[in-house]
Amino acid sequence: MNAETLTLNKNSWDEAAPRFFGRTALPEYGPLAPLEDELNLMGDVTGLNVLELGCGSGHSLQYMERRGARGLWGIDLSRKQIETASELLASSGARARLFESPMEQDPGLPHNYFDLVYSIFALGWTTNIDRTFANVNAYLKEGGLFIFSWEHPFYNRAKFTDNGLILNKSYHEEGPYDHEAWHTPAIMQQFKVSTYINALIKHGFVIDNVVEEVRLPEDGTETHANRWYSYDKARFLPTTLIIKSHKKSNSVT
């Protein structure tokens, strides 16, 4: 776990939080990606205890509460995001237990307790994928679900130009990189699809579904013009990787 990177990212997210209020939250798994309402990966969450990694502004937890989840828990690196999520959930009468913490650290969450742990477009911020997945395994009951989405590893390795797609980064390259698009410095992590899958298997998970489809609305060309997640680029490459897994019985990590 890189303490310097965590501090850098925490400060960056505290500054950027207002710009991401309500963005990329359930039922949305990612930009131009299928919705949970279509995929139904989580199934019926009525009465379940759920935990969100990278809970952001709280909109995904609000979605879970409206679908009948019983226990709402969330962690986020940013103090500003935790404050915003607390206000949002309180305004709708939802009760949630929120922790200001990086996902690589266990802030004192109950073990063998949660029916579902999920993360919506946040996992690329972890500085230690092994530690994060080990934590998730500890939090979940046997058979509990772990579902996450993140930018597809192919997507930022290619650039869409007037002449078509150009690869501008090796797919084999993994690890931290500067998130240059932000106003303040931030470090993100890049992994191959196989790295996510093998890390899940290593830490006691069984893979149930891998989703790479895109959802291209008929009017999307205009809506997403000149954006990082562009309609034109998404016609060739998936924007989002979604993986559903579950904690196998008697797993040891």
Q: Where are the domains of the chain?
A: 3-247
**CA–CA distance, 62 with 76 (Å, rounded to integer):** 15
**CA–CA distance, 252 with 205 (Å, rounded to integer):** 10
The answer to whether 118 and 139 are in contact (CB under 8 A) is no
Q: Which residue has the higher pLDDT, 143 or 160?
A: 143
Identify the bridge partners of residue 177 per DSSP, sorted by sequence position: 188
CA 249 from centre of chain: 25
Model confidence band, residue 218 (pLDDT cutoffs 50, 70, 90): confident
CA angle (23 as vertex; 131, 205 as ends), nearest 5: 30
Q: Which residue has the higher pLDDT, 181 or 183?
A: 183
pLDDT at 194: 98
Q: Which CATH number fits domain 3-247: 3.40.50.2020, 3.40.50.300, 3.40.50.970, 3.40.50.150?
A: 3.40.50.150
Percent helix, strand, coil in the chain, to 5, is 30, 25, 40
pLDDT(67) > 90: yes
pLDDT at 182: 67
